[in-house]
A and B are shown apart, each in its own frame.
Chain A
């Protein structure tokens, strides 16, 4: 049973370019969460999605960032016009249900974004 998959594992972008990060949840999981981790810091919640719905985006910057989880295919976190401050590790997690605070979230290996 494959775990949460993320790609690419490493992504380098120049300022002003777009970054697209992909996440495939564990088999049977329909709830996806994105977190950002700055160097030497803990993970910060960004957005929670179900298939075709954004449930909670309270942690996501209002500008340049967007997320989707289409009916078919992986969840995508998109960052437009990247700036150096966007350099971080972005982790995706999935859970089988959701809307239940006690559901365990399983994390992927992360995408390390570097903005030059």
Chain B
């Protein structure tokens, strides 16, 4: 079945610097890649998503890139702020074995140093 790997598991960056989280997926049929932010004690919140017919998408300080050939996708956060501290999950959907269900990566705990 589909497998999503996420790196790094923890990431600490200075406030104002950029943060990058990388993911790979195994099922070449996957066509939808959402990113979720989870704060302590809360449910995952969708922050951005990308579909397979697009290579890059940007929303203010957040951008995602997708390389379908390499089966890689990444999240970029620029000008990081303290409120960006959270756990971030990449995910994939739409593969042969995943269809409508979302397959999550293992998460990246992002800490922003003041």
Within 8 A of B (CB), among A53-71: 55-56, 58-59
Nearest A-chain residue to B52, judged by Cβ: A102
B32 cross-chain contacts in A, Cβ below 8 A:
101-102
- B106:A42 contact, CB within 8 angstroms: yes
Bound: A58/B93 CA distance, A: 15
Tell me the interface secondary structure of chain B in the complex. Answer: loop
Interface residues contributed by chain A, number (CB under 8 Å): 31
Given contacts A41-B106, A43-B89, A102-B31, contact A56 B43 (CB under 8 A): no
A45 cross-chain contacts in B, Cβ below 8 A:
101-103
- A43:B44 contact, CB within 8 angstroms: yes
Task: Count A-B pairs with CB separation below 8 Å.
Answer: 72
- A12-20, A74-82, A106-114: which one contacts chain B? A106-114
Given known contacts A55-B100, A101-B100, A102-B31, what 19 new A-B pairs fall within 8 Å (CB)? A31-B100, A33-B101, A35-B102, A41-B107, A42-B104, A42-B106, A43-B104, A45-B101, A95-B100, A98-B100, A100-B100, A101-B98, A102-B93, A104-B49, A105-B34, A105-B46, A107-B45, A109-B43, A110-B43
- Tell me if B62 counts as interface (CB < 8 A to partner A): no
